[in-house]
Structure 1
């Protein structure tokens, strides 16, 4: 074999060996690379987040938010079941957070304060027009705000897309929890009667068309007769168009239709039942309350949905403990002169009624029960309280009841 042939054969063998080695190395490393790539894909894939998933599921039910001043925490409930809980920072003693029954009346994702130097208050959810809201903020572990309810970033961001306007917010010293509740005086669904205005509106266009046709035909007949009697006189070409009949109903007589959840407030102080729908007053009526001097307490009843057996609505209850009133009394001498400076005195009144006792003592008008029953839906609420309508209740709000 010549030298050139030997060199060619050697080069060929070298190439074959190199190819075999390369294939062997690829066979060894490829499974490892595949495993690494698989692990990377698994790590970068979206992992389940129980807290966020819980918020998403919560929006399908009737929501309630409870803020506890004493424990400095907020709890979100959906259909009476606790969904999430987180820390808060409420108002300092000099700027206390008001306590009572509220609802979300405004939302602003990128809100900035117009009172405190344009400070950012992201994920803002307002509960009063006087400046109290829930929003993202610093949480030092104690009450430190000017009255607002500060939330952690994670809780505020998750709560923001979950809530809607009208969601009930309870602020209390303690940490009340909703419980299932039944009572024969709670509202029950009632079929809404047919609106007679709808029937009139459907029939009216037909009447108008008939009237127009009759008027036109009569005028055409008169013009034909006139032309036949006086052939030299041309028939009028610019006859006035027929006018439709005026509607018989007046706008003030028509029922005003509103949308939105219904809220009912029974006030022992006012001796009335007040009803709102969609943040606007609907009607109010006097009520009879047995033992009018005895406190009712503050109780919030919320309709959750239809009962499985079809026997009405499921309700839950949130009762807010009544706090002792502190009043300033001036001690006087037996001669009637002023003595020492006024001191706050804790006044312990009569014990408040339980929720069941409160409903037993209230006699609601039949008309009110029927009208509310026609509007009853999941989210409808009944607030019973010794308090009157707060000055915070107004245009664009639900009932705001201040307990402290």
Structure 2
């Protein structure tokens, strides 16, 4: 879903190369440092995976700060400097997921130029990959990273990893609530849903052909509709029932069951202008029982649930793009 018009062929070609030409000018390998985040210099990053060794990964890119924040299971494990799109080629904001991974990707447009450790976000050219970092926005839309950091990040992302690009950086919030997945707080229902999670562990690296496809849900107040996407294909939709107030711009990543609270444990992030109490209340959004049953058959740790007040435009997605522009 996107609110942008289709890109011109010229823009698509420029975007597909992103920082490939800049890589030829001498990419920064990068340096792992122990510094306050605001003191990081171009090419420097922090990397502490031991803070949270397991769980779903989420990437937040702050355009204002020129920083990339990596969270795993709600805990920030890394921060890196980056370089995003320059004036006239601004990096789009919104919600993306990793569509393709290629450690040794090369541009098919610009003389086979290298784009190491690429995590593709759109099929018209936006990606995370290694590149030159001058200390300010300088790419054609991609998010350039230090080479060493991009290699580390490549090891923990998977197809479907959410990437939120926003002007500001917002910390994730833990939310434990039945909402959507569980129609109520009944103990028997909770036990049934927990039992369905068995065997649906969070793999370290999914592919489009895996037995457990990546599931994403998008709830749009504009269209009063919820769609379910597996990998990159829309497979089901149902009615959205909510309190009538704006949903806001939020992303939820399912961490798993929380038996103490008899609910599902979510990591909530916003891609809007500010966080609010509404993002912690999932019960305000629901659907009918028939569609709830379809959702329960497909959900798994690491699945993504997105709220938006924008319209759904699946027909305007470019090939397999999964994009919600803010």
Please report the TM-score for the alignment, with normalisation by the length of structure 1. Answer: 0.58
Call closer, same or farther: CA 1:56–1:160 in 2, change over 3 Å. Answer: farther
Q: Does 1:101 align with 2:95?
A: yes
Residue of structure 2 aligned with 1:314, choices 265, 270, 290:
265
Query: Paired residue for 2:185?
Result: none
1:309 to partner: Cα distance: 3.1
Higher RCO structure, 1 or 2 (CA under 8 Å, sep 6+): 2
RMSD of equivalent CA atoms: 3.1
Contact 1:295 1:353 in 2 (8 A): no
Q: Structure 2: how far apart are the matches of 1:141 and 1:87?
A: 8
Unaligned runs of 5+ in 2: 1-32, 35-44, 183-189, 194-209
Corresponding residue to 1:354 among 278, 288, 295 = 278
Aligned partner of 1:76 in structure 2 is 70
Q: Deviations over 1:268-312 (max 9, x none)?
A: 222210011232222002223443xx5321111111022253823
1:145 alignment counterpart: 139
Compute the displacement of 1:262 (Å).
1.5
SS of corresponding position for 1:139: coil
Cα deviation, residue 356, structure 1: 4.2
Structure 1 unaligned blocks of 5 or more: 1-48, 193-256, 324-350
TM-superposed CA distance for 1:258, in Å, is 6.3
Please, what TM-score do these two structures have when normalized by structure 2? 0.71
Q: Note the 1:332-343 alignment, pairs <5 A.
A: none
Matches within 5 A, 1:96-135: 96-135=90-129
Which residue does the alignment assign to 2:238?
285
Q: Which residue in the other structure is 2:289 paired with?
A: 366
Q: In structure 2, what is the Cα distance between the partners aligned to 1:180 and 1:310?
A: 13
Query: Is 1:271 aligned to 2:265, yes or no?
Result: no
Shift of 1:352: 8.6
Whole-angstrom CA distance in 2 between matches of 1:366 and 1:63: 30
Q: Determine the structure 1 residue equivalent to 2:173.
A: 179
- Of residues 81, 87, 91 in structure 2, which corresponds to 1:87? 81
Counterpart of 1:327? none
Partner of residue 160, structure 1: 154
User: Partners in 2 of 1:77 and 1:401 — Cα distance?
Assistant: 20
Q: 1:261 maps to what in 2? A: 214
CA separation of 1:52 and 1:160: change in aligned 2, threshold 3 A: farther
Find the partner of 2:254 among 270, 293, 303: 303
Instruction: Go from structure 1 to structure 2 and tell me whether the alpha carbon gap of 1:352 and 1:269 turns closer, same or farther (over 3 Å shift).
Output: farther
Indicate the structure with greater strand content.
2
Bigger helix fraction: 1
Q: Is the 8 A contact 2:95 2:324 kept in 1?
A: yes
Q: Which residue of 2 aligns with 1:44?
A: none
- Kindly state the Cα deviation for residue 87 of structure 1 after the two structures are TM-superposed: 0.4
Please, which of 268, 287, 306 is the counterpart of residue 383 of structure 1?
Answer: 306
Alpha-carbon distance in structure 2 between the residues aligned to 1:109 and 1:56:
23
Instruction: Give the 3-state SS of the residue equivalent to 2:312 in structure 1.
Output: coil
Counterpart CA distance in 2 for 1:130 and 1:375 is 29
Structure 2 Cα separation of the partners of residues 308 and 187 of structure 1: 14
**2:25 — aligned with what?**
none
